Amino acid sequence: MGGGIFILDLIVNYLTALGYGGLLAGVVVESMGVPFFPGGIMVLLAGFLINQGKMNFFSALLIMFSGYTAGSLSAYLIGRKMGKPLFVHSFKFLHIPQDRFNQAQNLLDHSAPVFIIFGRFLPGVSNLTPYLAGISRINIGYFIFFNSIFAISWGVLYLLVGMFFGHNYQAISGYLNTWLPLVGLLVLLLYFLYPYIKRSFKKNIKNTWP
């Protein structure tokens, strides 16, 4: 616990010292899927600094959005350039099991928009999102559009949470890291179950009213 608080305080000091430039650099690294990098916590703590009057909300959101777009687009282009054969060799470095890659690929094949937006919430899949989009050669404008939807939603959520609950940022960061992936999983589950539920509902209606 003490080590976690030390890291959070270190991030606050980093953002206080470097300001928007530090936030930009951190979000770029986060959006490129670097394992174990606390980019989400950094945005959360930026919200905490907004509440203290040390940052401006709209400036921080613009910086966050720009950094996330730049990092995601870089990862997309790396995936597009390297392709799957070369990218597979990076699994060990990125700590990504082969089955995680296959799971992400199946999700992308099923629905690219759902993968780009909600895949970022899934542990073990989130850092694959932009690379896989590039490997699959999804239209770059298509990728930027749906990636932007996620970036804005993610940025607004984390900044607002940081603003309103920043004084308890140690506890809040733990809750977000635990519950947000579960929400993402629930949304994906409902998305995949919807066709079956709809089909079953229509079948029951047909049997009830001959």
Per-residue pLDDT of the chain (210 residues; tens, 9 = 90+): 444 455 667 777 888 888 899 999 999 998 888 777 778 888 888 988 898 888 999 999 999 999 999 999 999 998 888 877 766 666 566 556 666 666 667 767 667 777 787 777 666 667 778 888 888 888 899 899 989 998 998 899 889 888 877 655 555 555 555 555 555 555 555 555 556 655 554 554 444 445
- Tally of domains in the chain: 1
H helix or E strand, kind and range, residue 94: helix 91-94
Distance in angstroms between the alpha carbons of the first and the last residue of the chain: 63
Domain carrying residue 79: 2-208
How far apart (Å, rounded) are the C-alpha atoms in residues 180 and 61?
20
